[in-house]
């Protein structure tokens, strides 16, 4: 049996150490469980079942007809769970979950460049929904009640998962950049520093830091490039927020979800440039 480490002379089986993708799946589930248990953020498991069902069905159909094989469904589960956590349709509508799920998975198979999909599936679905249906769809962005215990658990596990997946530098860089830019926004706008920092305690930023920004298929290859890209995403998000604070023209377009839309704009451009540069 293969081993990956030894402790006190006894081999540790490789299967005993969870893969990064398995840890990410567990982490997404942790946010779901903690959020629903403490604050009921899902609003009903029927939405979860519907969204996961559409994600799995879309993944299975597209993978079979376009690639000729059945897919692994972990990605569908992660995307579906993320959508349910963050989507907040007006008036209890259900169709946004269906549309967002179908768009998120379809983007993996349709919007490709040099053999790679350019957008993180969840990020694509969320961004398209808030851009095309801002009056019917919002995203969950409030803090989890500023609950110290819940946030401590999520951030501790998130940092451990990121470390195991060797993407800790991405999560830490983004969180640090956001915090520094929060100080800048506070000075420019006059809002309290804690109010500017508070979004980091919400599900949107937790999923962004530990999942969307670190998604291996949609990140550039080099570690230095990854750091530069997340710094640029943080800066673009800061600009989006300041645009709303100062009521710049067209700022309402990015108002529903500045971090999601910053990644939506910067991420694919950076990845496409990286892929083109590598093939030159």
Residues 54 and 117 in one domain: yes
Instruction: Enter the pTM of the model.
Output: 0.89
Instruction: Note whether 110 and 200 are same-domain residues.
Output: no
Range of 115's domain? 42-139
Q: Across residues 247-256, what is the average pLDDT?
A: 91
Nearest to 161 by CA among 72, 62, 28: 28
- Collapsing DSSP to helix, strand or coil, 17 comes out as coil
Three-point CA angle 193, 196, 202, nearest 5°:
130
Let me know if residue 167 belongs to a domain.
Answer: yes
Do 183 and 260 reside in the same domain of the chain? yes
What's the pLDDT tens digit per position in 122-138? 999 999 999 999 999 98
Dist CA 2 CA 144 (whole Å): 42
Average pLDDT for the chain:
87
What DSSP assignment string belongs to 19-37? PHHHHHHHHHHHHHHHHHH
- Whether residue 74 is found in the same domain as residue 178: no
Q: What are phi and psi of 191, to 5 degrees?
A: -80, 155
In a domain, 193, yes or no: yes
pLDDT band at 257 (very low <50, low <70, confident <90, very high): very high
pLDDT in tens, 13-36: 544 456 777 888 888 888 788 777
Residue 242 has pLDDT above 90, yes or no: yes
pLDDT band, very low/low/confident/very high, at 5 (cuts 50, 70, 90): very low
2 pLDDT above the threshold of 80: no
Q: How many domains does the chain have?
A: 2
Do 161 and 131 reside in the same domain of the chain?
A: no
Which pLDDT tens digit goes with each residue over 52-108? Answer: 999 999 999 999 999 888 888 888 999 999 999 899 998 889 999 999 999 999 999
Residue 228 maps to a domain:
yes
Determine the pLDDT at residue 12.
47
Confidence of residue 191 (pLDDT cuts 50, 70, 90): very high
């Amino acid at each position: 049996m293969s081993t990956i480490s030894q402790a006190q002379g006894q081999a540790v089986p490789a299967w005993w150490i969870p893969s990064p993708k398995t840890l990410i799946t567990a982490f997404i589930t942790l946010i779901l469980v903690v959020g629903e248990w403490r604050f009921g953020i899902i609003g009903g498991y029927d939405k979860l079942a519907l969204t996961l069902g559409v994600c799995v069905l879309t993944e299975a159909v597209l993978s079979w007809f376009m690639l000729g094989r059945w897919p692994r469904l972990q990605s569908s589960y992660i995307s579906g769970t993320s959508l349910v956590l963050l989507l907040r349709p007006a008036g209890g509508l259900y169709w946004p979950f269906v549309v967002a799920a179908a768009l998120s998975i379809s983007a993996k198979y349709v919007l490709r460049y040099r053999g790679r999909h350019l957008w993180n599936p969840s990020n694509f679905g969320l961004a398209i929904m808030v851009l095309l249906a801002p009056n019917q769809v919002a995203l969950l962005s409030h803090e989890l009640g500023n609950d110290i215990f819940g946030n401590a658990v999520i951030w501790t596990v998130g940092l451990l998962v990121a470390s195991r997946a060797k993407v800790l530098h991405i999560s830490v860089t983004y969180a640090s950049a956001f915090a520094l830019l929060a100080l800048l926004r506070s000075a420019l706008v006059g809002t309290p520093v804690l109010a500017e920092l508070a979004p980091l305690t919400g599900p949107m930023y937790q999923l962004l830091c530990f999942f969307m920004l670190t998604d291996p298929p949609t990140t550039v290859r080099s570690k230095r490039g990854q750091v530069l890209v997340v710094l640029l995403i943080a800066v673009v998000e800061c600009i989006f927020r300041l645009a709303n604070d100062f009521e710049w023209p067209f700022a309402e377009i990015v108002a529903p979800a500045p971090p999601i839309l910053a990644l939506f704009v910067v991420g694919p451009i950076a990845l496409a440039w990286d892929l083109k540069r590598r093939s030159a």
